[in-house]
Amino acid sequence: MVLKVSKRGQVPPFIVMDVMREAALRVASGKDVVHLEVGQPGGRPPRAVLEAAKLALEDESETLGYTLALGHQGLRERIARFYKDGHKIDLEADRVVVTTGSSGAFLLAFLAAFEAGDRVALAAPGYPAYRNILTALGCEVVTIPVDGATHFHPTPAHLEALDRPVDGLIVASPSNPTGSMLSPHALKALAEWCHVKGVRLVSDEIYHGIVYGEPAATALGFSDSAIVVNSFSKYYALTGWRLGWMVVPPELVRSVECLAQNLTIAPPTLSQISAMAVFDATSELDARVAGYAANRALLLDRLPALGFDKLAPADGAFYLYADIGHLTNDSPQFCKRILAECGVALTPGTDFDPLRGHLSVRFSLAGPMSDMEEAVRRLARIPLQSIRS
């Protein structure tokens, strides 16, 4: 008897994970790999967090049992203070929900805000999980192709031009993979448009803190109906601790609480207790951002001469997204050949853009500068035109 496998579970793979698997196979065969595919901070977690974790583990009175589903109260209050300190926004801690990474926040947010069949708009290129989670939940994904003309972000004009209204809009600033940021003015325009039209805005602010110019604005400053998602995975460098948060409008709090109780019970307790210390580790965290800035400057200087001269703005985050349409029309194959010929792992644009991703590639600059230097040395040794497919 062949048993059923659900169609909604058959979402596309996260292609960067496939690249990582191929890179691991190359390493297993005795060759080395320079990793410019992975979008995570390298090195050890911030010292203050390790200290806090050690204290919690040694504290006999700390049971490390479940917290409440919406999260550890102390952490929720600390997150609310982050908006006061960083954005001058008064926020009730009751609206803060601690989640298992921002990934866990998306699941809760989409379930709480959208019905199956709802139409949710998002930009391409963009982070693939939005599309895949929405699809698994039975929502209709409405793709808005964006490019340099609108700084790689959707605008109210894009939304007005859709043939049918949407129920939701997902934005990310700085964005993955382009690093482009919405100006405060552009974010305000989107947030206000969504509020007036009854469209639920979900603002992914996971790359806040990793910016190379002006600080990023939060949608919380412009809309009370938006859902704001953030994470400890990027600026805070706690990727594997699986912790994120969201700020939800009051009318969604109870629904999110009940969903969280049923789906995960609570986010990981040791991570929550330890993460409270990370908000005071800014000098260590900002030193990391200075490292990303130096890597970015190096790649911006060297990549154009290697043929990667059409790069998205990279105002923030730790990526460079290159249009390689003059080199290939098959970016997955292009990345495979680069990995095989010089051991540099890159992510094909197909991960981020189902329409035009075959013409793009993403460089992650989150690793050490020595990796950036080695990658450009290796890429310079192979004539990229020979990889043309």
Residues contributing to the site for ligand PLP (CB under 6 A): 39, 101-103, 127, 172, 176, 204, 206, 231, 233, 239, 244
Question: Taking the complex as a whole, how short is the minimal distance between the CB of residue 234 and ligand PLP, in angstroms?
Answer: 7
3-state SS, residue 322: strand
The residue at minimum Cβ distance from ligand PLP is: 101
Question: Taking the complex as a whole, how short is the minimal distance between the CB of residue 256 and ligand PLP, in angstroms?
Answer: 16
Whether the Cβ atoms of residue 223 and residue 188 lie closer than 8 Å to each other: no
Whether the Cβ atoms of residue 285 and residue 266 lie closer than 8 Å to each other: no
Nearer to ligand PLP, 176 or 272 (CB): 176
Task: Report how many helices (DSSP H) and strands (DSSP E) the chain contains, helices first.
Answer: 12, 12
Question: Taking the complex as a whole, how short is the minimal distance between the CB of residue 190 and ligand PLP, in angstroms?
Answer: 17
Question: Taking the complex as a whole, how short is the minimal distance between the CB of residue 27 and ligand PLP, in angstroms?
Answer: 22
Question: Taking the complex as a whole, how short is the minimal distance between the CB of residue 267 and ligand PLP, in angstroms?
Answer: 11
252: which 2 tokens?
Answer: 């969604």
DSSP secondary-structure letter at 92? -
Nearer to ligand PLP, 182 or 206 (CB): 206
Nearer to ligand PLP, 102 or 331 (CB): 102
Whether the Cβ atoms of residue 98 and residue 267 lie closer than 8 Å to each other: yes
Nearer to ligand PLP, 78 or 337 (CB): 78
DSSP secondary-structure letter at 116? T
Question: Taking the complex as a whole, how short is the minimal distance between the CB of residue 176 and ligand PLP, in angstroms?
Answer: 4
128: which 2 tokens?
Answer: 């693939």
Nearer to ligand PLP, 203 or 328 (CB): 203
Nearer to ligand PLP, 271 or 331 (CB): 271
3-state SS, residue 320: strand
Q: How far apart are CA 291 and CA 215, in angstroms?
A: 17
Q: DSSP per residue over 327-372, as a string? A: T-S-HHHHHHHHHHHH-EE-EEGGGT-TTTGGGEEEEE--S-HHHH
